[in-house]
């Protein structure tokens, strides 16, 4: 039989992959063909950062890498570039997660916003370095703003829907 801790990790990983797949499917469905004026938020980036900061033991680095590699392939982006940047960003957040746990949500949101800006800037820099076609800077900035605004909304939704509240010393089951 499977022990309770391992079962929670497997269920959490399955939930993460389900939501990731649902968001990826939603992005692939052609709902509004034509030119996009206001780009939507990157829900997959928000999802992975929320999950890494709430339950880092549930999604290992290999899961993050494979999920974003599949996203790169499906969305026809440079294969592996965004996946590598997301892995580096999530591992940086995972390493600092115990220190961020006790801070208020506004501080977490600010740090995540800074991390997202660094990740999006690194992606743009790498694409420019290798002479890949760059999306318009205005569109990238608008997507960044939309992603930062979506982070607390998605965080609250996942906290309510999946039981992913903010960790604290009182409700963290890993400390018991």
- pLDDT for 45-74, tens place per residue? 999 999 999 899 999 999 999 999 999 999
Please check the confidence at residue 11 and state whether its pLDDT lies above 50.
yes
Query: Which of the four pLDDT bands, split at 50, 70 and 90, describes residue 142?
Result: very high
Q: Show me where the domains of the chain are located.
A: 4-28+36-170
| Number of residues that make up the chain | 176
The mean pLDDT value for 114-130 works out to 97
Task: Name the pTM for this structure.
Answer: 0.88
Lowest mean pLDDT among 36-45, 128-137, 157-166: 157-166
Burial category of 171 from C-beta neighbours within 10 Å (exposed 0-12, middle 13-18, buried 19 and up): exposed
């Amino acid at each position: 039989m499977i022990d309770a801790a391992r079962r929670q990790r497997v269920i959490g990983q399955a939930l993460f992959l389900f939501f990731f797949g649902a968001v990826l499917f939603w992005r692939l469905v052609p709902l509004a063909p034509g030119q996009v004026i206001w780009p939507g938020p990157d829900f997959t980036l928000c999802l992975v950062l929320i999950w890494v900061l709430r339950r880092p033991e549930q999604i290992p680095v290999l899961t993050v890498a494979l999920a974003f590699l599949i996203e790169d392939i499906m969305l026809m982006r440079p294969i592996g570039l965004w996946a590598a940047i997301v892995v580096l960003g999530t591992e940086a957040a995972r390493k600092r997660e115990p220190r961020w746990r006790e801070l208020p949500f506004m501080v977490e949101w600010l740090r995540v916003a800074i991390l997202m800006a660094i990740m999006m800037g690194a992606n743009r820099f790498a694409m420019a370095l290798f002479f890949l076609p760059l999306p318009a800077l205005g569109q990238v900035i608008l997507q960044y703003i939309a992603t930062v605004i979506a982070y607390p909304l998605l965080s609250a939704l996942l906290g309510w829907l999946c039981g992913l509240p903010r960790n604290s010393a009182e409700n963290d089951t890993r400390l018991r």
